[in-house]
Amino acid sequence: MNVMKNMEAIFLAAAFLTGVTSVASAASENARERYDAQVSIQGKQMAVVRVTAKRLTAEEKARI
C-alpha cells in the first residue's frame, strides 16, 4: 500500500533518471564524433601541426 502512496515520487524519479541518461548518452556520442574528426587523417599523409608565432628574445625569456 505504501507504493501506491508514493507512485508520483517514483514516476518523477524514473522520468528524471531517463532524462539524465539520455542527455549523457547524447553528450558522449558527440564527444566521440568530435574526437574522431580530430584524429582522422586523409589517405596516408602524416598529420602536420604548424605553429606561427614569434620566438622569444633572450630578454623576454629572462623576464619569464
The pLDDT of residue 1 is: 59
User: Are 10 and 3 within 8 A, CB to CB?
Assistant: yes
CA distances from 45 to 15, 41, 42, 48 (A): 48, 7, 7, 9
What are φ and ψ of residue 59, in 5° steps? Answer: -65, -40
Give the tens place of pLDDT for each residue, 30-49: 777 777 766 666 666 777 78
Of residues 35 and 7, more confidently modeled:
7
Percent of the chain with pLDDT over 70: 83
Percent of the chain with pLDDT over 90: 16
Kindly list the domain boundaries of the chain, sorted by start residue. 2-63
User: Are 47 and 41 within 8 A, CB to CB?
Assistant: yes
Question: HSE (CB half, 13 Å, CA atoms) of 18?
Answer: 6
The pLDDT of residue 64 is: 82
The pLDDT of residue 39 is: 64
- Record the pTM: 0.43
